[in-house]
Amino acid sequence: MSGHADSKKVVIAALLGNVAIAACKFGAAYLSRSTATLAEAVHSLADTGNQGLLLIGMRLAASPPDDRFPFGRSGEKYFWPFVVALMLFSVGGAFAVYDGASHIFHPAHEVGSRFWSYAVLGVSIIFEAMSFRVAFKEFKVLAKGRPWIVAVREARDPTIPLVLAEDTTALIGLCIAFLAVLTSDLTGQHFWDPLGSVLIGVLLCAVAIMLAKNTHALLIGASADPEEQGQALHLTEGVEGVDRVTQILTFHVGPDVVILAMKVAFKETMTAKTIEETINEIERRIRAELPLMRKIFIEVDAHGDGRGLVRARTAWEQKRALTDASYGPHGAAALASKPPAAEAE
C-alpha cells in the first residue's frame, strides 16, 4: 500500500504544479504572442490531463476482484498510462509541431511583450524542478541502484517513471522555449520562436513513443522480475519432497498482482496426500516472501519444457552472490555449483 500512496503523491504533486503552470503559460503566450510559449502551455495542459487520467487509473485499479474481473483491475494502471502516451503524442507533440511549422511558413507580424514569456518560463522552470524532485526521489527508491534506462524498462508500475519522464521532458522543453524566445529577440529573427515550438513537439513525440513502447510490453503480459522468479524457484526447490522445478512462468496482471505457474517434479516416495501438503507449503512460503504473487498454480509434471528456468536461476544466483557475504569474493562460482535445493531452510 505504501507504494500506491507514494505513486499517488507523485501524481498529485505533478497535477497541482501543471494546473498553475498551464494557466500562467497561456496568459504569457497571449501577451507575448510567442509560439514556443504557446507550445509549452499546450504541453502543460496535456500533462494536466495526463495526471488526471493516471489518478482515474489508480482509483479503478484499487477495485476488489469480482466475477467479471477475478484477478482484480490492477491492469488499469497499465491501460491509462498507455492512453497518456497517446495524448502526449497527439495533443502535446503533434500540436506543437503543427503550430510551430505554420508560423515558420506564415510568420505573424505582431509581437507582444516578451517580458511575460521570460517571467513565466523562468517561474515554470522552478515549479517543474520541484515536481521533478518529488518524482526523482521516488524513482531512486524504485530503481534500487540500477541504471535509469534499465529501471524504466523493467519497472512493473509505470506511474512513477511516466511522471518522471513528463517532468524531465517539461524541464527540457522549458529550456528550449526560453532559448528560442531569447534567440529570437537577440537576432531580431522571428524564425527562432516557432522553431522552438517544433523542437518541443518533436521531443514530446519521441518521449510519447518511448512511453507507449514500455507500457505496451506490460499490456500484453510482461513477466515478473527475473530475481523474483529466481526466488520463487529457490523457495520451491527448498521444500522437502520436491525433486526439481521443470518450468516456471509468470505474468503481471497489474503492478500489484503476479500470476505464477510452475511445473514441479516430486520425489518418487511422495503420495497424493503428501504432494498436496507439499504444494500448500510451497504456496505458503512463496506468498510470505513474495506477496505480489497472489495467484499460484502448480502442476505435477516431471517433463516440463524448462521455460523460464535458466533466466530465473541466473538472476537468483547473481543476486545471492552479490548480497550474501558468506560466499566470499568468489560467491558467483561457489553458488553456481550449489543447486537451490541444497539450500533448503
Q: At 77, which amino acid appears?
A: K
| Residue 1 pLDDT greater than 60, yes or no | no
- What pLDDT is recorded for position 133? 87
Looking at the 3D structure of the chain, how many domains does it have? 2
Which amino acid is residue 181, in one-letter code? V
Residues 167 and 274 grouped into a single domain: no
Q: Residue 112's pLDDT is what?
A: 60
167 closest CA partner among 126, 209, 197, 196: 126
Residues 174 and 245 in one domain: no
- Which residue carries 522553431 as its cell? 195
CATH number at residue 203: 1.20.1510.10
Residue 249: which region, alpha, beta or left (left: phi > 0; alpha: psi -120 to 50)?
A: beta
Q: pLDDT tier at 331 (50, 70, 90 boundaries)?
A: very low
Span 174-197, average pLDDT: 88
Calculated CA dihedral for residues 262, 263, 266, 271, nearest 10 degrees: 90
Q: To the nearest whole percent, how much of the chain has pLDDT over 70?
A: 89
Whole-prediction pTM value?
0.70
15 and 144 in one domain? yes
Residue 322: CA atoms inside 13 Å, Cβ hemisphere, count?
7
Alpha-carbon gap, residue 229 to 231, rounded angstroms: 5
Per-residue pLDDT, averaged over 180-198, amounts to 88
Do residue 269 and residue 154 come from a single domain? Answer: no
CB atoms within 10 A of CB 80: 24
Of the residues 196, 219, 242, which one is the last residue of a structural domain? 219
The answer to whether the beta carbons of residues 201 and 97 sit under 8 Å apart is yes
CATH of the domain at 305: 3.30.70.1350
**Cα-to-chain-centroid distance, residue 196:** 28
Q: Mark residue 242 as left, alpha or beta (left: phi above 0; alpha: psi -120 to 50; beta: remaining).
A: beta
Domain that holds residue 63: 2-219
d(CA 205, CA 198): 11
Same domain, 197 and 85: yes
